[in-house]
């Protein structure tokens, strides 16, 4: 039954019931005060006349309502208000659910980060307990504090992103916003894609909601990632541009002038002209069933409109795509500078020895077998987290092992190729930028066919399967303690 018929039925029933009740009430009142008289000339009684008048007016009112319903004057207003309320509620729920979906995507990477931090905290704490008077105790304690602060930073950023609340526009330095979002975006797009960020050469401010801007960057980064299934490069750049009427897809309702510009460029397959006109429509997607909702770009457009901004796109088939979002620039007096957004705390104390520029690694003298006793096992240790690299290296060296260190897969291949002696074990992380641990193991086994391989990771077994780690491979799960490292390494070398 249509809404119009429902309203008409309800009003008709209400009118009939009210007429019956009013008639009974009038009859009761007349009978209470005096007998029901007939007209002087034998005509109708006053009670009957009153009932007829009341009934006629009620029916006239019902006829008027029916006329207005027929002319589409009442139902459209009711339907429009209901649809507006429902649309606002669904939009809010959609924004929040999409953020929750992103948190779900990030769960594995965040768990990996926390496992790394727990490994650092547990490992350095164990070293402190084992020898509180050691010369390295103070630095070990600083590493524990630094890891705890990084864990707190990740938690606060995650809570800030996932919370459901009203938008609160504030003055933001977009350079800072990009820097704060960079690590989350890197986790989201995965290891196969290189993320490059280019902040503006000076602070650039806009009035916008920080959580919404994080969602805009996230949606555009995910869209770019999906356009490069075999890997590629995403470049996010912050800049400034003067936009005139008719430029950059600016709506006529917004004034011409200076705007902050954030561009997200990918090296993907590009978008053809026919598709590019539909990409901002809700539920439009070119992805396979179940791979996309078609809401990401429409949400970005809605967020920009809500913040008095707009979005434009440029693409070439086979030449990648660039999305540009624009926000009105805000003039900031020196005394009105906003507080810095959440920033990752710096490491305490001197940097670990493993943290060196690439040039320093290349210029360092190559290790030679003559420096190592023939009975001393040599371990190639590869880990992209400098603090874990240093911790594990210290742990192994304390047991008399000779440790060769590398910060990522390709550097591990180089160290292994340049080493003149025998390498007994490869001890490597699995998920790293560039060459992953599984590929590194294959490359190293070609150089040293008898080498033992031990993987370490904070990811789930399913994700390790996706990375190509064999089911029967030796795996040390993060977080681990120094005792666990020593025990497992010793067992493998003696087997």
463 vs 158, more confident: 463
Concatenate the DSSP letters of all residues of 255-297 into one string: PPEEEEEEEEEE-S----HHHHTTTTSTT---SPTTS--S-HH
* Together in a domain, 459 and 366: yes
Reply yes or no on whether the pLDDT at 21 is more than 70: no
Reply yes or no on whether the pLDDT at 180 is more than 50: yes
Q: Quick check: is 91 in a domain?
A: no
Reply yes or no on whether the pLDDT at 140 is more than 70: yes
Reply yes or no on whether the pLDDT at 309 is more than 90: yes
Sheet arrangement for strand 257-266: 193-198, 232-243, 257-266, 321-328, 310-315
Q: Quick check: is 267 in a domain?
A: yes
* Together in a domain, 308 and 392: no
- Residue 376, domain CATH: 3.40.50.2300
Please tell me the least confidently modeled range out of 27-36, 189-198, 306-315.
27-36
> What does the alpha-carbon distance between residue 219 and residue 170 come to, in Å, rounded to a whole number?
21
Contact indicator for 270, 287 with CB cutoff of 8 Å? no
Please tell me the least confidently modeled range out of 5-14, 277-286, 354-363, 463-472.
354-363
pLDDT at 332: 74
Q: Quick check: is 105 in a domain?
A: no
Q: Note down the domain range covering 192.
A: 170-345
Could you tell me the pLDDT band of residue 162, with boundaries at 50, 70 and 90? low
- Of the candidates 199, 211, 216, 205, the one whose C-alpha atom is nearest the C-alpha of residue 171 is 205
Reply yes or no on whether the pLDDT at 195 is more than 60: yes
- Of the candidates 400, 382, 399, the one whose C-alpha atom is nearest the C-alpha of residue 484 is 399
- Residue 300, domain CATH: 3.30.565.10
| Burial of 385 (C-beta count, 10 Å sphere; 0-12/13-18/19+) | buried
Please tell me the least confidently modeled range out of 51-55, 140-144, 291-295, 453-457.
291-295
pLDDT at 333: 60
- The average pLDDT across 338-366 equals 44
Q: Quick check: is 147 in a domain?
A: no
Q: Hey, is 19 helix, strand or coil?
A: helix
Reply yes or no on whether the pLDDT at 420 is more than 80: yes
* Together in a domain, 387 and 362: yes
* Together in a domain, 372 and 474: yes
- The average pLDDT across 12-26 equals 67
pLDDT at 366: 45
pLDDT at 337: 58
Q: Quick check: is 133 in a domain?
A: no
- The average pLDDT across 401-419 equals 94
* Together in a domain, 250 and 307: yes
User: Which CB contacts under 8 angstroms, 24+ apart, belong to 274-281?
Assistant: 276/313, 276/315, 279/313, 280/311
Reply yes or no on whether the pLDDT at 353 is more than 50: no
Average per-residue pLDDT for the chain: 78
Question: 10-37 burial string, b = 16+ CB within 10 Å, else e?
Answer: eeeeebeeebeeebeebeeebeeeeeee
Reply yes or no on whether the pLDDT at 64 is more than 90: no
Domain count, the chain: 3
Could you tell me the pLDDT band of residue 360, with boundaries at 50, 70 and 90? very low
Q: Quick check: is 103 in a domain?
A: no
pLDDT at 10: 66
User: Domain boundary residue among 73, 92, 116?
Assistant: 73
471 vs 339, more confident: 471
Could you tell me the pLDDT band of residue 359, with boundaries at 50, 70 and 90? very low
- The average pLDDT across 155-166 equals 59
User: Domain boundary residue among 30, 45, 73?
Assistant: 73
Q: Which residue has the tokens 């020895």?
A: 353
Could you tell me the pLDDT band of residue 207, with boundaries at 50, 70 and 90? very high
Q: Quick check: is 83 in a domain?
A: no
pLDDT at 341: 46
Reply yes or no on whether the pLDDT at 164 is more than 60: no
pLDDT at 302: 85
Interior CA angle at 297 toward 434 and 239, to 5°? Answer: 70
* Together in a domain, 260 and 314: yes
* Together in a domain, 391 and 444: yes
Reply yes or no on whether the pLDDT at 342 is more than 50: no
- The average pLDDT across 357-370 equals 43
pLDDT at 266: 94
| 464-to-86, 311, 406, 473 alpha-carbon distances in Å | 43, 38, 21, 11
Could you tell me the pLDDT band of residue 192, with boundaries at 50, 70 and 90? confident
Phi, psi torsion values for 194, nearest 5 degrees = -90, 130
Reply yes or no on whether the pLDDT at 352 is more than 60: no
Q: Quick check: is 275 in a domain?
A: yes
* Together in a domain, 287 and 389: no
Reply yes or no on whether the pLDDT at 481 is more than 70: yes
* Together in a domain, 197 and 334: yes
Q: pTM of whole model > 0.85? A: no
In the chain, % of residues over pLDDT 90:
30
pLDDT at 280: 79
Reply yes or no on whether the pLDDT at 136 is more than 50: yes
Reply yes or no on whether the pLDDT at 429 is more than 70: yes
* Together in a domain, 202 and 290: yes
The pair of three-digit structure tokens given for residue 380, joined into one six-digit string: 């190639």
* Together in a domain, 189 and 293: yes
* Together in a domain, 273 and 215: yes
User: Domain boundary residue among 291, 318, 345?
Assistant: 345
């Amino acid at each position: 039954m249509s809404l119009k018929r429902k309203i008409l039925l309800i009003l008709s029933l209400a009118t009939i019931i009210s007429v019956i009740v009013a008639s009974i009430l009038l009859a009761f009142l007349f009978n209470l005060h005096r007998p029901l008289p007939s007209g002087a000339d034998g005509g109708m009684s006053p009670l009957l006349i009153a009932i007829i008048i009341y009934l006629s007016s009620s029916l006239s009112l019902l006829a008027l309502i029916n006329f207005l319903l027929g002319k589409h004057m009442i139902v459209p207003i009711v339907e429009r208000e209901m649809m507006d309320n429902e649309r606002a509620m669904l939009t809010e729920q959609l924004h929040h659910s999409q953020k929750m979906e992103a948190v779900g995507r990030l769960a594995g990477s965040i768990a990996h980060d926390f496992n790394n931090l727990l490994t650092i905290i547990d490992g350095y704490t164990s070293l402190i307990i084992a020898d509180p008077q050691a010369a390295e105790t103070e630095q070990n304690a600083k590493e524990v504090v630094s890891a705890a602060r990084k864990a707190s930073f990740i938690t606060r950023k995650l809570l800030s992103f996932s919370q459901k609340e009203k938008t609160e526009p504030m003055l933001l330095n977009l350079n800072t916003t990009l820097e704060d979002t960079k690590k989350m975006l890197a986790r989201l797009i995965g290891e196969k894609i290189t993320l490059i960020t280019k902040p503006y050469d000076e602070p650039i401010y806009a009035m916008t909601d920080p959580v919404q801007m994080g969602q805009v960057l996230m949606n555009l980064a995910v869209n770019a990632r999906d356009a490069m299934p075999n890997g590629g490069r995403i470049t996010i750049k912050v800049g400034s541009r003067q936009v005139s009427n008719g430029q950059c897809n600016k709506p006529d309702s917004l004034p011409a002038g200076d705007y902050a510009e954030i561009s997200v460029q990918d090296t993907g397959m590009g978008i053809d002209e026919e598709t590019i006109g539909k990409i901002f429509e809700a539920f439009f997607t070119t992805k396979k069933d179940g791979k996309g909702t078609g809401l990401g770009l429409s949400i970005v457009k809605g967020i920009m409109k809500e913040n008095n901004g707009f979005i434009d796109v440029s693409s070439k088939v086979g030449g990648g795509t660039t999305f540009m979002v624009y926000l009105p620039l805000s003039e900031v007096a020196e005394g009105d500078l906003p507080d810095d957004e959440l920033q990752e705390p710096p490491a305490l104390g001197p940097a670990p020895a493993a943290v060196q520029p690439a040039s320093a690694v290349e210029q360092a003298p190559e290790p030679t077998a003559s420096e190592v006793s023939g009975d001393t096992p040599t371990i190639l240790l590869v880990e992209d987290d400098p603090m874990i690299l240093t911790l594990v290296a210290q742990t192994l060296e304390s047991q008399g092992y000779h440790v060769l260190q590398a910060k990522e897969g390709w550097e591990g291949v180089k160290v292994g190729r340049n080493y003149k002696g025998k390498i007994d074990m490869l001890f490597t992380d699995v998920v790293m930028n560039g060459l992953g641990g599984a590929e590194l193991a294959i490359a190293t086994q070609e150089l040293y066919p008898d080498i033992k391989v031990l993987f370490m990771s904070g990811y789930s077994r399913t994700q390790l399967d996706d990375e190509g780690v064999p089911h029967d491979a030796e795996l040390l799960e993060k977080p681990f303690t120094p005792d666990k490292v020593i025990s497992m390494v010793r067992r493998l070398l003696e087997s």
